[in-house]
Amino acid sequence: GAGVSQSPSNKVTEKGKDVELRCDPISGHTALYWYRQSLGQGLEFLIYFQGNSAPDKSGLPSDRFSAERTGGSVSTLTIQRTQQEDSAVYLCASSLGDRGGSEQFFGPGTRLTVL
Amino acid sequence: AQTVTQSQPEMSVQEAETVTLSCTYDTSESNYYLFWYKQPPSRQMILVIRQEAYKQQNATENRFSVNFQKAAKSFSLKISDSQLGDTAMYFCAFMKPMNYGGATNKLIFGTGTLLAVQP
C-alpha cells in the first residue's frame, strides 16, 4: 500500500509570506505527527493528532505555526509570516496510534527555504 | 524532560565489517520505547529496530541488533556485515508511550550519527 506522502517536496518562499505544507498519512492510521529537521535544532517534534482528541501542540515554536487535520486524514501545517529560521525539512509521520510504542512511518519531507 | 545523546557525529566502516553506534538517554520513566531510525540521502526515515524497556532481551532484526543496558541508560546499535546500502544518518529516539501520564507517543531524537560504509 501507499506510504505517507507529503507535498510539495520543495518549497522556496520569501520572508514574510505564508506557506502550507500537506501530509497524507497511511490509510487507517489514526495518529499523525509533524516534526522539523534543521541544522541548528536537529529533529524536533511539532504537533500530534490522535483521532478526535485535542491535538498536542506543545512543540510548535511560535504562534505563527498552526496545523489542522481534516476528517481524521489529511493534515496541513501552516506557517505564517515566514522567517529565515523557519528554513528546514518538515517531516510528517503516521502510526496506528492504538497502543504505546506504535511504529511511526515517515513521509519524504518538505524542504522549506525562506529567502 | 527526556534527552537523547549520540556522541559520534560521524563513523566509517569497511564493507562486510561490524560497526557499533552509541546512544545514551536520560529519563526518570520506568517504561518507554527506544528506536533506531535510518535516514539515507533520500530523506526517508526508516525504522531499523525497536526496543521495549521492560523487555530484557535485546532486539534483533537480521544484521541489526541492539545492546540495551537499562541501568546505564545505554542503547547501542550493532550493524553486522555492513553493506554499501547501510550508508545513512542514524538516529536514536526515545518514546514515552501514550498509555502513561498523557504522553503522546512523540519521538525525542538524538543528533544523529552519519555512517559511511566504504567499499
Pairing label, strands A10-13, A110-114: parallel
Within an 8 Å CB–CB cutoff, is residue A109 touching chain B?
Answer: yes
Asked if the Cβ–Cβ distance from B105 to A102 is below 8 Å, we say yes
Q: Which of A44, A48, A89 sits opposite B104 (nearest CB)?
A: A48
What per-residue string of b and e applies to A78-97 under the rule 16 or more CB within 10 Å gives b? ebeebeeebbbbbbbbbbeb
Asked if the Cβ–Cβ distance from B33 to A50 is below 8 Å, we say no
pLDDT tens digits, residue range A61-92? Answer: 999 999 999 887 999 999 999 999 999 999 99
- The CA-based dihedral angle spanning residues B59, B22, A88, B47, taken in that order and rounded to the nearest 10 degrees: -10
The percentage of residues in chain B with a pLDDT greater than 90, rounded to a whole number, is 80
Grid cell 546499535 in the structure block, residue: B77
Within an 8 Å CB–CB cutoff, is residue A40 touching chain B?
Answer: no
Nearest CA in chain B to A101: B97
B46-105 residues touching A, CB cutoff 8 A: 46-47, 50, 52, 91, 95, 97-100, 104-105
Residues 6+ apart with CB under 8 A from A27: A1, A2, A73
pLDDT tens digits, residue range A3-15? Answer: 999 999 999 999 9
How much is the average pLDDT of A45-59?
Answer: 89
Question: Closest by alpha carbon to A90, among A104, A68, A108?
Answer: A108
Q: Is the pLDDT of residue B104 over 90?
A: no
Asked if the Cβ–Cβ distance from B104 to A109 is below 8 Å, we say no
Nearest CA in chain B to A53: B104
pLDDT of residue B25: 97
How much is the average pLDDT of B20-26?
Answer: 97
Average confidence score pLDDT of chain A: 92
What per-residue string of b and e applies to A52-64 under the rule 16 or more CB within 10 Å gives b? eeebbeebbeeee
Question: Closest by alpha carbon to B89, among B63, B117, B58, B52?
Answer: B117
d(CA A105, CA A93): 5
A49-88 residues touching B, CB cutoff 8 A: 50, 56, 59
d(CA A69, CA A57): 13
Grid cell 524542504 in the structure block, residue: A111
